[in-house]
Amino acid sequence: METDTIQKIYRIDRSEISFLKFLLESYEGIAVPRTIDDHIALVEVMIAPGFYHTFQELMRTVSKEMGMTPVLTSRFKGAPHDSQTDYQPSP
């Protein structure tokens, strides 16, 4: 059973930061977002491991509309996440 929270960092359209926060809050327990730098619109999302695939599906649905680009994926304890399971934005 996985216990480490998965950390993803995204660059996002600045006007969409609040929407991302409200969207993730509406899926209670899936992930917690935090703005790292609002000037360059860098957002960290801490994802509960049991909801990672749900999170991926959600991001596939909204990432293009929100101008989201993944920057980094890792686990909080420092072990890298398997990049083969990361979502790939639609072209």
- Inside any domain, residue 13: yes
- Inside any domain, residue 1: no
Residue 90 has pLDDT above 60, yes or no: no
pLDDT digits (tens, 9 = 90+) for 12-55: 999 999 999 999 999 988 999 999 998 999 999 999 988 999 99
- Inside any domain, residue 53: yes
Q: How many residues does the chain have?
A: 91
- Inside any domain, residue 68: yes
- Inside any domain, residue 64: yes
- The mean pLDDT of 44-67, rounded to a whole number, is 91
- In eight-state DSSP terms, residue 15 is G
- Inside any domain, residue 45: yes
Residue with tokens 């917690």: 32
Backbone angles phi, psi at 64, to 5 degrees: -65, -45
* Domain housing 21: 6-78
Q: Which two tokens stand for residue 2?
A: 């996985």
- Inside any domain, residue 63: yes
Confidence (pLDDT) at 5: 86
Confidence of residue 73 (pLDDT cuts 50, 70, 90): confident
* Pairwise CA distance, residues 20 & 87, whole Å: 17
Cα(first)–Cα(last) distance of the chain, in Å? 34
Structural domain total, the chain: 1
- Which residues make beta-bridge pairs with 55? none
Q: In what order do the strands lie in the sheet with 6-11?
A: 31-37, 42-47, 6-11, 69-75
pLDDT digits (tens, 9 = 90+) for 76-86: 544 444 444 44
